[in-house]
Amino acid sequence: MENMVNVFLFGKRYQVPDNLTIMTAMEYAGYQLIRGCGCRNGFCGACATIYRIKGDRELHACLACQTKVEDNMYVATLPFFPLVKEIYDIEKIKPAQQVMMQLYPEIYSCIGCNACTKSCPQGLNVMQYIAYAQRGDFEKCANESFDCIMCGICSSRCPAGISHPQVAMLARRLNGKYIQPECAHLKERVKEINDGAFNDLIEALMQKPVEELQELYNNRDIEE
């Protein structure tokens, strides 16, 4: 017999095995997660979830794909965590400190509480990459935030209302376009794609069943 725990999903009680994640517990209870989440044909970071444990006043934020259920866990999901996404043309802005002052001035209201770093499910040093962004060091900000999956949990904990993932995205775009040297082999590969060199290969892949595609992906050659 599996050890079962009580989990409350959107106010309704379910009994699920205690070795499941919140995401798989939802599927065990009958919910179909077929869109949105990266491991369910969507994008990674979309399963940001809030929960609390009965008797505990603290509200927790997590990713449902990597957080195991606990007995008497009350779970709710949000369609998104509120982030400010400023509109800009990457061709018209430059990697200068002023661009952060213009687009995301709230980063200069950071009080150094480190709540963003403590809440990051990826273990990123979020407060540090915001400090790099404040100084206009976009290369360091880009490297420090490289593994960000844009879930927005850090922003949900920020008393200054900083949209950390969007700040990081801007830094990575500026770094990639203006600071890092041009990648010659990538430019050549893009040209080959645009010229149709891989049309037949792509068409053949489109005809393969999902199981075979998964096998090809899991056994692909990965560059050093």
For residue 46, pLDDT beyond 80: no
Q: How many Å is the maximal CA-CA distance in the chain?
A: 62
Domains of the chain with CATH codes:
4-77 (3.10.20.740), 97-179 (no CATH), 188-218 (no CATH)
Global confidence as pTM: 0.75
Q: Which residues of 3-24 are buried (b: 16+ CB within 10 A; e: fewer)?
A: eebebbbeeeebebeeebbbbb
Q: What is the pLDDT of residue 132?
A: 97
Q: What is the pLDDT of residue 36?
A: 60
CB 122 within 8 A of CB 147: yes
- Stretch 75-85: mean pLDDT, rounded? 79
For residue 14, pLDDT beyond 80: yes
DSSP per position, 205-222: HHTS-HHHHHHHHHT---
Could you tell me what percent of the chain has a pLDDT over 70?
A: 94
CA–CA dist 85, 134 (Å, integer): 17
Q: What is the pLDDT of residue 51?
A: 93
Which ranges of the chain would DSSP assign to H, the alpha helix? 22-28, 97-103, 115-119, 126-135, 138-144, 153-156, 164-174, 184-194, 199-206, 210-218
Q: What is the pLDDT of residue 3?
A: 92
**DSSP letter, residue 68:** B
For residue 59, pLDDT beyond 70: yes
Q: What is the pLDDT of residue 32?
A: 79
Q: How many CB atoms lie within 10 A of CB 103?
A: 19
What tens digit of pLDDT does each residue of 135-194 get? 999 999 999 999 998 889 999 889 999 999 999 999 999 999 999 998 888 899 999 999
Q: What is the pLDDT of residue 34?
A: 64
